[in-house]
Amino acid sequence: MHKKFQLRPCVIFSCLLAWSFLMSGASPASAEQGSKWKIFPASDVFPALVADPKEPRFFVSVHEYDNEFRDNFTGASVGFGENFGLLKKRISNRHAWQLSLKGGLFSQFDLDTSSQDLLNSDYNIGLSWTYRFRQIGMRLRLYHQSSHLGDEYLLRQPNLAETRANFDYEALDWLGAYTWNKFRTYAGLHYLLQRDPDDLDRWGYHGGIEYRGTDDILAGAGFIAGLDVKGFQELAWTPAYSLKAGLNFSNINQRNRHIQVMLEYYNGFIPYGQFYDNDMESYGIGIYFGL
């Protein structure tokens, strides 16, 4: 059974790639010409989600937290992530697909402790297939995640060392999106393939709306905002809300490079690691770099 689950994602991605080649009319000759193919593209046909707290990218944020396992405290969250394009096929100016390697590290720190304890780190890595046709876009992602509690936090909470359990999984998620003017809406499903603990329910949903302004409102920056909503069968489908809004400073000649400064609010289950079934409310500010 374990091998069966591991093979299914490979079959899915193989079918998707074959379908993409057929749709694009690809042939060895057209690949050799290189006019519409690009290896290691710098940008993606499906832009990163603005408000998803688990979107792989480089960032640092400081929040005031209120949650079940730590009560009220000031914390910092940092992320290191990238969407590394492997291959892009441009069918026309508004029709393309891309295969990428997408992964990230997400860590949370308790700033109210003397050593600014590391609470948890999540690691994820996987393949992403994205597609765009005019205003319609989609993303299919197969990835692995593992979570690890911080040593300092475990030393301060010795009972956790005896009660903690491994938390990792392989997942497949799909998002469909529609863009009009400066707005984009998206929605999709999340499915756990292999998981530990093995009694976790498999299904989840994901959706949201975002706005990316292009008008210069401050030092070449445009307004950017997003609302991201997630829910999981394991948590009785209860939605978690992530809201972010701020300024997007971008290089007009290289739009895939930017710095975003955003005010942030979160309410719902904790999106990180073994605390996934605890509630959390937080507000603060974050700085994001990259794509």
Element housing 4 (H / E)? helix 2-24
Q: Is a pLDDT exceeding 80 seen at residue 17? A: no
Which residues are CB-neighbours of 133 under 8 A, at least 6 positions away? 94, 95
Question: What's the CATH number where 262 sits?
Answer: 2.40.230.10
Q: How many domains does the chain have?
A: 1
Q: The domain containing residue 86 runs over which residues?
A: 2-290
pLDDT tens readout for residues 202-255 = 999 999 999 998 888 887 789 999 999 999 999 999 999 999 999 998 865 665
Q: What is the pTM of this model?
A: 0.83
Could you tell me which of 20, 214, 46 has the C-alpha nearest to residue 130?
46
| Interacting residues of 197 by C-beta distance below 8 A, sequence separation 6+ | 165, 166, 167
